[in-house]
Amino acid sequence: METFGDPAIWLPWTFAALMGLSILIYVILDGFDLGVGLLMPLANEEEKDRLVASIGPFWDANETWLVLAIGLLLVAFPPAHGIILTALYLPVFIMLVGLILRGVSFEFRAKAPASQKTRWNAAFFAGSLMASMSQGFMLGMYIMGLTWTLSHVAFALLTAVFLTVGYSFIGAAWLIGKTEGALQAHAVRWARGGIWGLILGVGAISLATPFVSARIFDKWFSLPEFLYLSPLPILSGALIVYLWWQIRQLPRSDDRMSWGPFAAAILLFALAFGGMAYSFYPYVVPEQITIYDAAAAPESLFIILIGTLFVLPAILGYTVLSYYIFRGKATELRYD
Amino acid sequence: MDTLLLSRIQFGANISFHILFPTITIALGWVLLFFKLRFNATGDQKWMDAYLFWVKVFALSFAMGVVSGITMSFQFGTNWPGFMETVGNVAGPLLAYEVMTAFFLEAVFLGIMLFGASRVKRWVHTLATFLVAFGTTMSTFWIIVLNSWMHTPQGYELRDGVVFATDWWEIIFNPSMPYRFVHMLLASGLTVAFLIAGISALRLLWGDRAESVKSTLRFGVVTGALLIPLQILAGDLHGLNTLEHQPAKVAAMEGNWETGPNVPLLLFALPDEEARENRFEIGIPSGASLILKHKPEGVVPGLNDFVAEDGTVMHPRVAPVFFSFRVMVGTGIAMLLLSWGGLYLMRRYGAGEMPRLSLYAFSAMSFSGWIATLAGWYTTEIGRQPWLVQGVLTTKEAVADVPAGMVLGTLLGYLAIYAALIVAYIAVITYLARKASRGEPLGSRVHPASGEAEVAMLQPGE
């Protein structure tokens, strides 16, 4: 345990990194399947089944990353877990209701009598919307330091809308890769409609974060940090330009580059996330509690870490396996 | 109502709703593996029909379990921050292992199990089915470890009011864990046995004469009849374990106020918390002493031993524990009578020709496992009060400082959704059974089970 230096330093750091990684994977993976849910009302009846089929084998495992992220917060930083979640009591409730509605609608829409299908489709959309909006809201509140003032709530409502549109964009990008024909053409149109959410969302968060605290401002706008960090906004800008250009070229008749927008969107999410992580480090509760103060006992963290080192590669491995098995264009979902 | 009580009701509502679905999926995963292996071995289409019907129930139950499970993981933080702050060093790793070794396993391979049959080799699909069943069981293991540790904590030390783990072996294999784990697995097995028997009976009543229905009825009745005596034995052993570690809970279960010998086994009573006595007692003389100490003069602990000198009550409220225990035992006895009676009738008349009355009885008992499981959990969880972690942390110390109105609002929201979803769940299972009874196909693919089918598939012109 002492090999790497003081375990009270490197263990919290490792766990913060693991938690960050889980959140990022969650935002990307559940982001696209929430996004597909958000697009439901835009699709016609036949397309709706294909939309659901494109995420059917994956959504369950995608959501598990949220459980892992919140679990890591819970186990590695217990006091922070309590503070963050009690401060976000109401949006958490709305998100959970959304996730419940969405998860069960997946099953019910396929199994309930056909006359009820419209209702379950509506529940599927409503659940996706509630989950996306509340996640965006929580993101905004977190950036604003988890205090409920009018201006903070207003900012959080903005991020709620932007993240929701951003999710619908990555959902559309997923569909561009995962579908073909008329539906693919629709997905391209949806992506064109959703890209502004991505731009405004990334822009708003990037602009607002440094002005929340002088500490974060100095982390970004002092030399030489500013120069080292400059690739981050430049790369993000380049990705947005690429996305803008690419979705005006798609769909191509030979299906070339149909995964381009999805891959670029992933990178963009990752860059934005990296920027945020840099801003808030070392705090887990913004400007209040650092990861080092909130960390659980090193003995306990160490025993989780040992397991994680064995298990996480396995999880990643069979996740990749699952995406490999269900590779290619989405087909009808069936149990046999 | 105050925040504490509302938060308890909210957590109780969430966990009650949640446990319904794992109770089904834990055992149903293994049952599906069994159907699948039978099909692999015999090539008999009835096993594939059984698999295809019950895998739908499994998928639906699994989704309900996942979404309600996510809710649980947030509730620790939103409503019970004191829990993780005090015992996080023990609870944290256990929950982390649950998510990492079990949750991911089942969630990822579920996709392959449900939708991958046409995309992977048959053995890969069978393996995925096994991994899902194994994952749900592992999940149960870790959660039961944590829950049992909250009842019988050991392997830790307190430093400045915070729990630190000292011996993980002692924590995992804490005294009540093996009993609780076996008790829960058997409960799941029984719930599924009666669900399968009940739905199959319903389909027979609707005139469905399919071989697969007779086979699943046979399977449900035989499994139920085999498991129920084991469960009664496991429950009895668990009770003795509780007597040793949590006597206050046993005193509440028995409705016994004064410690003493020759304590009766109460069949009915109305515990009066104010007067600290029972009214309208009907009991079997020395019954409780016999069960708990195996002799009539055995001394059974009484609730009055758990009142502090200053009058602070350190035992649970008696009535909820007393009654839920009786509901659990009563349901268990009904299960015993029905499954053994059913076994006799089945041997005599055959699964397809059982008297209609018995089929009605099985249908009525379809969800009896839920009732028994919930009643059992209420007994043990309410029975632990006022403690959250026995002797370490009280429920009151752990609750979040959230306004009562907020908790009430979200509680009503959860209750409304849960009520609607339970209705929809039962309605859809009934609908699926109805649809299957009408002979609508369960799947669209022809299964190349035997050589004949394979040849048939190769015929041109189809």
What values do phi and psi take at A2, rounded to 5?
-85, -10
Q: Are B96 and A50 in contact (CB under 8 A)?
A: no
Q: Is the pLDDT at B454 greater than 60, yes or no?
A: no
Tens digit of each residue's pLDDT (9 = 90 or more) over B317-328: 999 999 999 999
- Residue B291: the pLDDT is 84
pLDDT at B442: 62
Which pLDDT score is estimated for B415?
A: 92
What's the confidence (pLDDT) of residue B151? 93
Asked, for residue A328, whether it belongs to a domain, the answer is no
pLDDT surpassing 60 at residue A300: yes
Instruction: Print the domain residue range for B222.
Output: 3-259+301-444
Q: Among B108, B172, B434, B457, pick the best mutation site for testing chain A contact (most A Cβ within 10 A).
A: B108
CB A140 within 8 A of CB A158: yes
Query: Are A75 and B93 a contacting pair at CB < 8 A?
Result: yes
Q: B24-48: per-residue pLDDT in tens?
A: 999 999 999 999 999 999 989 899 9
Q: Looking at residues A225-246, what average pLDDT do you find?
A: 89
Q: DSSP state, A251?
A: P
Greater confidence (B426 vs A65) lies with B426
Least confident of A18-32, A162-176, B294-308: B294-308
Statement: residue B136 has pLDDT above 70:
yes
The residue-averaged pLDDT of B130-143 equals 92
**Contact at 8 Å (CB) between B390 and B152?**
yes
Summarize chain B as % helix, strand, coil (round to 5). Answer: 70, 5, 20
Sign of the C-alpha dihedral computed for residues B400, B406, B410 and B411 taken in this order:
positive
Does B56 touch chain A if contact means CB atoms closer than 8 Å? yes
What's the pLDDT band for B75 if we cut at 50, 70, 90? confident
Of B62, B74, B445, the CB nearest to A96: B74
Q: Is the dihedral of CA A40, A46, A50, A56 positive or negative?
A: positive
User: Domain limits at A122?
Assistant: 22-295
Rounded to whole angstroms, what are the CA distances from B320 to A149, B35, B270, B378? 43, 40, 11, 8
Asked if A297 lies within 8 A of B101 by C-beta distance, the reply is no
The pLDDT, as a whole number, for residue B352 is 83
Per-residue pLDDT band at B453 (split at 50, 70, 90): very low
For an interface test with A, the pick among B48, B72, B80, B84 (most A C-beta atoms closer than 10 Å) comes out as B84
Q: Do B424 and A104 touch (CB under 8 A)?
A: yes
**Min Cα–Cα distance to chain A from B1, Å:** 19
Chain A within 8 Å of B420 (Cβ-Cβ)?
no
Whether the ω angle into residue B403 lies within 30 degrees of 0, i.e. cis, is no
Query: What is the three-state SS of B36-60?
Result: HHHHHHHCCHHHHHHHHHHHHHHHH
Is pLDDT of A132 > 90? yes
Question: What is each CA distance from B265 to A194, B287, B305, in whole angstroms?
Answer: 68, 4, 19
Chain B positions touching A57 (Cβ under 8 A) are 111-112, 114-116
Strand partners, B355: none
Evaluate whether B61 touches B26 at the Cβ level (below 8 Å): no
How many other C-beta atoms are found inside a 10 Å radius of the C-beta of residue B337? 12
Contact list in A for residue B105 (CB cut-off 8 A) is 318
Q: Is residue A269 situated within a structural domain?
A: yes
Phi, psi angles (nearest 5°) of residue B284: -95, 120
DSSP string covering B192-207: HHHHHHHHHHHHHHTT
Q: Which residue of B has its CA nearest to A321?
A: B108
Instruction: For residue A335, list chain B residues with Cβ-Cβ distance below 8 A.
Output: 52, 55-56, 59, 114-115, 117, 443
The tokens for A321 are 């396996």
Instruction: Answer yes or no: is pLDDT of B461 > 50.
Output: no
Q: At what angle do helices A260-280 and A231-249 cross, to 10 degrees?
A: 160
> Tell me, what's the pLDDT at B26?
94
| pLDDT for A1 | 52
What pLDDT shows up at residue B458? 39
**Is the Cβ pair B84, A81 closer than 8 Å?**
yes
pLDDT at residue number B143? 93
Q: Please report, for chain B, how many H helices and E strands are present, in that order.
A: 16, 6
Report how far residue A268's alpha carbon sits from residue A205's, in angstroms, rounded to the nearest whole number: 13
Give the pair of three-digit tokens for residue A15: 């766990």
User: In whole numbers, what is the pLDDT of chain A averaged over residues?
Assistant: 87
Q: Which two tokens stand for residue B452?
A: 């004949």
**B407-416: long-range pairs with CB below 8 Å, 24+:** B407/B3, B407/B6, B407/B7, B407/B10, B407/B79, B408/B1, B408/B6, B410/A89, B410/A90, B410/A93, B410/B10, B411/B6, B411/B9, B411/B10, B411/B13, B413/A93, B413/A97, B414/A97, B414/B10, B414/B13, B414/B14, B414/B17, B414/B71, B415/B13
Which of B55, B100, B115 is facing A311, going by the closest CB pair?
B100
> What pLDDT is stored for residue A3 in this prediction?
62
**Beta-ladder partners of A283:** A290
**Span A172-195, pLDDT tens digits:** 999 998 888 888 989 999 999 888
DSSP bridge partners of B277: B272
Q: What is the average pLDDT score of chain B?
A: 88
- How would residue B455 be classed by pLDDT, with cut points 50, 70 and 90? very low
Task: Give φ, ψ of A171 to 5 degrees.
Answer: -65, -45
B396 CB neighbour count, 10 Å cutoff: 14
A85 closest CB neighbour out of B70, B78, B168? B78
Nearest CA in chain A to B115: A335
Whether A60 sits inside 8 A of B52 (CB atoms) is no
Residues of chain B with Cβ-Cβ distance to A318 below 8 Å are: 104-105, 108-109
With contact defined as beta carbons under 8 Å apart, do B369 and B192 qualify? yes
The CA radius of gyration of chain B, in Å to the nearest whole number, is: 24
**Residue-wise pLDDT tens digits, A102-118:** 988 988 888 888 888 88
Yes or no: say if A212 and A143 are a contact pair by the CB < 8 Å rule: yes
- Residue A336: pLDDT band with limits 50, 70, 90: confident
pLDDT of A4 higher than 80: no
Q: How far is CA B410 from the centre of its chain?
A: 25
Of A74, A85, A322, the CB nearest to B112: A322
Return the structure tokens found at A104: 């069960």
Tokens of B210: 């399919």
Cβ–Cβ under 8 Å, residues A187 and A179:
yes
ipTM: 0.82
- Per mean pLDDT, which range of A118-127, A157-166, A205-214, B217-226 is the poorest? A205-214
| Residue B194 domain flag | yes
What pLDDT is recorded for position B452?
Answer: 39
Nearest CB to B81; choose among A72, A82, A90 = A82
Please judge whether A113 and B101 are an interchain contact, meaning their C-beta atoms are less than 8 angstroms apart: no
A307 within domain boundaries: no
Let me know the angle formed at the C-alpha of B110 by B375 and A32, rounded to the nearest 5 degrees: 110
Rounded to whole angstroms, the Cα distance separating A295 from A281 reads 14
B96 with A304: Cβ contact below 8 A: yes
The tokens for B234 are: 């496991």
| pLDDT at residue B371, rounded to an integer | 96
Residue with more model confidence, A212 or B270: B270
- Alpha carbon of residue B86 to chain centroid: 28
Q: Could you say which of A71, A106, A296 has the minimum Cβ distance to residue B63?
A: A106
A&B contacts, CB < 8 Å: 231
Say whether A92 and B56 touch across the interface (CB within 8 A). Answer: no
* Lookup: tokens for B432: 């699926």
- Residue B53 near residue A335 (C-beta atoms within 8 A): no
Which helix (H) or strand (E) element contains residue B28?
A: helix B3-42
Contacts of A304 in chain B (CB under 8 A): 92-93, 96-97
> Which residue type is seen at B139?
S
Nearest CA-CA distance, residue A190 and chain B, Å: 27
Q: Does B63 touch chain A (CB under 8 A)?
A: yes
Write the DSSP assignment of B382-428 as a string of letters: HTTTTEEETTTEEHHHH-----HHHHHHHHHHHHHHHHHHHHHHHHH
* Rama region for B270: left / alpha / beta (φ>0; ψ in -120 to 50; rest): beta
Q: Is residue A4 part of a domain?
A: no
Q: Is residue A336 part of a domain?
A: no
- Find, in chain B, the residue whose alpha carbon is nearest to that of A60: B107
Q: What is the pLDDT of residue B456?
A: 38
Contacts of B47 in chain A (CB under 8 A): none
Cβ within 8 Å of A, B 68-127 = 68-71, 73-74, 76-78, 81-82, 84-85, 88-93, 95-97, 99-101, 103-105, 107-112, 114-120
Residues from chain A contacting residue B73 (CB–CB below 8 Å):
67, 70-71, 74
Question: What pLDDT, on a 0 to 100 scale, did the predictor assign at position A46?
Answer: 84
**Chain A residues closer than 8 Å to B72 by CB:** none
Share of chain B above pLDDT 90, in %: 47
What six digits make up the tokens of A162? 């932007």
Question: What tokens does B196 get?
Answer: 């399968």
The number of folded domains in chain B is 1
pLDDT band at B446 (very low <50, low <70, confident <90, very high): very low
Q: Give contacts of B60 with chain A, Cβ < 8 Å.
A: 104, 107-108, 111
A297: which chain B residues are within 8 Å (Cβ-Cβ)? 89, 164-165
Min Cα–Cα distance to chain A from B425, Å: 8
- Maximum CA pair distance of chain A? 64
- Cβ–Cβ below 8 Å for B88 and A78: yes
What confidence score (pLDDT) does residue B443 get?
Answer: 58
Q: Which helix (H) or strand (E) holds B75?
A: helix B45-79
Burial of B72 (0-12, 13-18, 19+ CB in 10 A): middle
The fraction of chain B above a pLDDT of 70, given in percent, is: 95
Separation in Å, CA B183 to CA B14, B38, B141, B338, B427: 21, 27, 12, 20, 29
A82 vs B contacts (CB less than 8 Å): 77, 81-82, 84-85, 400
Q: Is A70 among the domain residues?
A: yes
- Give the residues across from B278 on adjacent strands: B271
DSSP string, B324-363: HHHHHHHHHHHHHHHHHHHHHHHHHH-GGG--HHHHHHHH
Domain contains B283: no
Looking at the 3D structure of chain A, how many domains does it have?
1
| Mean pLDDT computed over B77-98 | 85
Confidence of residue B426 (pLDDT cuts 50, 70, 90): very high
Q: Do A300 and B111 touch (CB under 8 A)?
A: no
Residues of A in contact with B90 (CB under 8 A): 300
With an 8 Å Cβ cutoff, are A70 and B73 in contact? yes
Q: How far is residue B433's CA from residue A248's CA, in Å, rounded to a whole number?
A: 49
DSSP class of residue B101 equals I
Q: What is the pLDDT of residue B359?
A: 93
Question: Does the pLDDT at position B445 exceed 60?
Answer: no
Q: How far apart are CA A202 and CA A216, in angstroms?
A: 17
The Cα–Cα gap between B14 and B26 comes to 19
Angle (nearest 5°) at CA B173 between B384 and B177: 40
